[in-house]
Amino acid sequence: MKKILIIGCGSLGYSIVQVFKSKKKKILVVENNKSNFDLLKKESGKYFSVFRNLKEIKWDDIKYLMICVKPKDIHHLLNILKDYINKSTTIISFVAGIKLKTIKTNLGLKNRVIRFMPNLSIKYGQSITAVYSNNIVSKEKIKISDYFGFFGTIVWLKKEEDIDFFTAFFGGGPAYISLILEHLQNILKKRQIKEIDSNILVLKLLENTLNYIKKEKISFLGLIKRVASKGGTTQQGLDFLKKRSQLNLLLSTAIKKAELQSVKMSKKKD
Ligand SMILES: NC(=O)c1ccc[n+]([C@@H]2O[C@H](COP(=O)([O-])OP(=O)(O)OC[C@H]3O[C@@H](n4cnc5c(N)ncnc54)[C@H](OP(=O)(O)O)[C@@H]3O)[C@@H](O)[C@H]2O)c1
């Protein structure tokens, strides 16, 4: 049977293992770090097996090899991998900022290589994951999207540079949304409505809004139109936020800054 192997099982790798387990899919793990290894060993069983050494793997069985080590460790790993990896194994790199060209050059083999960039919701199989490769035909893309569909939503990118934008938008997205929610929570707190938990109320506001949009099958603008009547209360607030497109400018500048930082960091790592 063709197997999936993950090398490096720290923060991201562990989340990936959790999704495999929750979907009852089998996975093999190679982990260097002694304390991570010991923890994984205790949890291993029917759905995953953990090893400390690449020598222990039956490489002919590996269909997908997922690399989840830190950027500083990938060059060394690729150097060792060339002695083990089978030519039919597809390499999936989760390593931020390391380009396909660098991986292929360091590996020195003709294996198919794909880059995956998930966000933190991968832990619950709800990640929006950017995927890029430059030598994959459409039929194969469909197969990969189907296979890794349990990660959440898979988005194939046309250009490798778009990974930087994706990292800024979907990687950072949960933090930007949380910041806005935190501001709303602070406003609520200041009104000292003590008997209610501001955290729970703001969370409910978010859930209810998303639920309404989904159930009514309307756009964000569609919802805004339903809430804001001309000359009404919400319209006053919206007019202020839209003045000189301030909110739009703030958000697009924040994401642009994050994207540029991702480009800068990639250049350093490559
Ligand atoms: N964390 C995220 O949410 C996230 C999101 C998107 C992308 N990424 C990317 O995912 C990669 C991993 O990030 P992370 O936060 O999970 O890092 P991490 O917590 O440091 O985990 C990496 C693990 O890999 C182990 N390792 C290193 N070299 C190895 C080797 N040759 N064989 C086996 N195990 C090895 C490390 O052991 P030692 O501690 O002994 O070195 C460590 O336990 C990074 O490249 C990052 O850019 C992470």
pLDDT value at residue 245: 76
- The pair phi, psi for residue 259, each rounded to 5°, is -65, -45
Domain count, the chain: 2
- The answer to the question of residue 166 being in a domain is no
> What pTM was estimated for this model as a whole?
0.91
Instruction: Give the CATH number of the domain where residue 95 resides.
Output: 3.40.50.720
Q: How confident is the model at residue 246 (pLDDT cuts 50, 70, 90)?
A: confident
User: Is the pLDDT reported for residue 223 higher than 70?
Assistant: yes
Q: Is 95 in the pocket of ligand 1 (CB under 6 A)?
A: yes
- Closest residue to atom 44 of ligand 1, CA basis: 70
User: Is the pLDDT reported for residue 269 higher than 90?
Assistant: no
Q: Is 118 in the pocket of ligand 1 (CB under 6 A)?
A: yes
pLDDT tens profile 108-118? 999 999 999 99
pLDDT value at residue 185: 94
Kindly write down the DSSP assignment for every residue of 156-211, as one continuous string: E-SSTTHHHHHIIIIITHHHHHHHHHHHHHHHHHHTT-TTS-HHHHHHHHHHHHHH
Query: What are the distances in angstroms from CA 224 to CA 98, 182, 227?
Result: 41, 21, 5
Q: How confident is the model at residue 38 (pLDDT cuts 50, 70, 90)?
A: very high
- The answer to the question of residue 154 being in a domain is yes
Q: How confident is the model at residue 54 (pLDDT cuts 50, 70, 90)?
A: very high
pLDDT value at residue 132: 97
| CB-facing half-sphere around the CA of 188: CA atoms within 13 A | 17
Same domain, 120 and 214: no
User: Is the pLDDT reported for residue 1 higher than 60?
Assistant: no
Q: Is 267 in the pocket of ligand 1 (CB under 6 A)?
A: no
Pocket of ligand 1, candidates 5, 12, 85: which has the most ligand atoms within 8 Å of its Cβ, to mutate? 12
* Average per-residue pLDDT for the chain: 94
Residue 142 CA to chain centroid, in angstroms? 19
Same domain, 35 and 101: yes
Q: How confident is the model at residue 188 (pLDDT cuts 50, 70, 90)?
A: very high
Q: Is 65 in the pocket of ligand 1 (CB under 6 A)?
A: no
- The answer to the question of residue 232 being in a domain is yes
- Closest residue to atom 21 of ligand 1, CA basis: 10
The answer to whether 51 and 62 have CB atoms below 8 angstroms apart is no
Q: Which domain holds residue 102?
A: 3-159
Same domain, 54 and 109: yes
User: Is the pLDDT reported for residue 55 higher than 70?
Assistant: yes
8-36 core/surface letters (b: 16 or more CB in 10 A; e: else): bbeebbbbbbbbbbeeeeebbbbbeeeeb
CB atoms within 10 A of CB 89: 22
Same domain, 177 and 224: yes
- The answer to the question of residue 97 being in a domain is yes
Q: What is the mean pLDDT of residues 55-65?
A: 95
Q: What is the mean pLDDT of residues 235-257?
A: 90
- The answer to the question of residue 247 being in a domain is yes
- The answer to the question of residue 168 being in a domain is no
Same domain, 235 and 142: no
Same domain, 181 and 55: no
Same domain, 144 and 213: no
Q: Is 172 in the pocket of ligand 1 (CB under 6 A)?
A: no
Can you tell me which atom of ligand 1 is nearest the CA of 167? Answer: 6
Pocket of ligand 1, candidates 9, 36, 69: which has the most ligand atoms within 8 Å of its Cβ, to mutate? 69
Q: What is the mean pLDDT of residues 171-175?
A: 97
